Every structure is written in C-alpha cells, then in structure tokens.
C-alpha cells in the first residue's frame, strides 16, 4: 500500500519552492541599459544579488579582497538568446584546511561547480573559472551559489556577450579566454602589453585551469611576436583553459 505524503512534508516543500521563487524574483534586475559588466562581489559595485552577505578579508590589501558569502543568487541582465562568456573569480581568505569549505554553483540551472574546495585547489591563491551560457528569453542569466559546508562565496563576476553588441568591458579589468596555437603558444593579439595602469592598459595575470601562473616561471611573453609561451620543459595541454586578465584602456 502506498503511503500518502504527510501534510508536514507537503507544507515544507511548498514553502521551500515559494522561498526559491521569491529569491529569484528579488534578484531579477529591473529594466536597464546594462547588459554586460563586472561585479565586485561584496564591494562597491555589488548588484543584482539576493541573499548572502558581504565580507572583506582582513589583512588583504589587493586582489579580490571582498566576497559575497552564504547561499545567494545573482541574476545578470543580458540580451535575450545571446551567448555570453562569464568569469567567476574566487579566493580563499579564511579557511586553511582541506574540506574546510565546500560549495556548488549552477548557471541557468546547470551545475558548473560541484563541491568545490578552494583551499584544496589553490590554497589562498586567487582562482578564475570561465563559463558560457545563453541569455534566457526574459533577459537574465541566473547564478545560484549553494553551501555544502561552511558557506559558498564569490569574489567577482564578469559577463559579456560572445557575439553582437556590448563588446568587451573597457576602462576596467577584463578576462579573456585564449586558444592554443599548433605550436603550443597563445596569441595575445590584439591585447595590450603595456604596463598595468598605463594609458594603453596591460596584462595583469594569467590563469591555467583556474590556477594563477607565475610570469617568468610558468610562462614568458614574446613582445616581438605578441605571444604567450609556456615553459618549454612543462608544456600546457591544448585542452587546458587559459585565461588572461588585462587592464583595458
């Protein structure tokens, strides 16, 4: 004989569904001209979120010092049906043990990070993950951060269309994914190579599979050919995700 669902169980799941719907509506961006940009999570440009709380890591003066943590949602305004590139940047600034923080992330309902452990991956070094998603018909991309243990967190979010209007974010820090050439190098055209903060902008950091690489150790820059070249005795795989951060003019 089948057991009938209890009244308490039905009430619980109904309340859970109602809360989720409310958070999604709360984070829904109002109609605005912005359809791409950069969010400093927990900082002065934090927006389009519902839930969670801001935090500034004590003792850090540069490089993703603020985060949003807890269980939270971001609804990013975008151009309907247009494919977008997203970059989620994170860093561990509190936990110092493997398994001390675990969380998952979905983009438009699809799991992209599951039980991620920042400290196990990179210690307290910043990490960056590039993703792609198609903007929904209602003009938003939904990111859901869910705690598994301790709290979920994110340092910054960038989103921009891969085709059509908007283009790259200018006058700010930008992240771009590079494709490997047949010789294993990466073309930096038309990215600027001037010093960061100068009028021409410049290369700030390089990430491989989410982990920051050391200039001169893990890679070098050939200014003549405008290429990024991995260390010869430790070549990178063509399937690696290589992401560069630049300050755009």
pTM of the complete model: 0.64
d(CA 175, CA 229): 18
d(CA 65, CA 63): 6
Tally the domains of the chain: 2
- The whole domain housing 114 covers 40-159
Q: Are residues 137 and 179 in the same domain?
A: no
Q: Which two tokens stand for residue 135?
A: 């903007």
The CATH number of whichever domain residue 132 belongs to comes to 2.60.120.430
pLDDT tens digit sequence for 99-115: 999 999 999 999 999 99
Q: Of the candidates 129, 159, 189, which is a domain's last residue?
A: 159
Which residues in the chain show pLDDT less than 70? 1-33, 61-63, 163-176, 190-202, 246-249
Q: Are residues 143 and 221 in the same domain?
A: no
Q: Are residues 61 and 115 in the same domain?
A: yes
Q: Are residues 147 and 191 in the same domain?
A: no
> H/E element holding 86?
strand 83-90
pLDDT tens digit sequence for 147-183: 999 999 999 998 988 754 444 444 445 566 777 888 8
Burial string for 111-144 (b: 16+ CB within 10 Å, else e) reads ebbeebbbbeebeeebbbbbbebebeeebbbbbb
Q: What is the CA radius of gyration of the chain?
A: 20
Contact by Cβ (8 Å): 219, 230: yes
Cα 186 to chain centroid, rounded? 22
Q: Are residues 153 and 189 in the same domain?
A: no
């Amino acid at each position: 004989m089948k057991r009938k669902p209890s009244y308490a169980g039905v009430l619980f799941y109904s309340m859970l569904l109602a809360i989720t719907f409310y958070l999604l509506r709360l984070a829904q961006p109002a109609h605005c001209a912005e359809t791409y940009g950069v969010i400093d999570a927990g900082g002065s440009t934090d927006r389009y979120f519902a839930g969670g709380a801001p935090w500034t890591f004590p003792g850090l003066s540069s490089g993703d010092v603020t985060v949003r943590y807890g269980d939270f949602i971001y609804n990013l305004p975008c151009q309907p049906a247009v494919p977008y590139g997203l970059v989620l940047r994170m860093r561990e600034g509190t936990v110092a043990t493997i398994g001390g923080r675990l969380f998952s992330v979905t983009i438009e309902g699809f799991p992209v990070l599951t039980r991620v452990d920042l400290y196990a991956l990179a210690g307290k070094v910043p990490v960056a993950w590039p993703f792609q998603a198609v903007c929904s018909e209602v003009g938003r991309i939904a990111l859901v951060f869910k705690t598994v243990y301790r709290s979920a967190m994110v340092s910054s979010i960038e989103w921009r269309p891969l085709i059509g209007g908007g283009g790259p974010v200018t006058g700010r820090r930008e992240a771009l994914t590079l494709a490997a050439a047949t010789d294993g190098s990466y073309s930096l055209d038309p990215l600027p190579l001037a010093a960061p903060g100068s009028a021409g902008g410049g290369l700030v950091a390089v990430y491989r599979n989410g982990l920051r690489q050391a200039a001169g150790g893990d890679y070098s820059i050939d200014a003549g050919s405008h290429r990024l070249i991995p260390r010869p005795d430790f070549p990178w795989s063509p399937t690696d995700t290589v992401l560069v951060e630049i300050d755009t003019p």
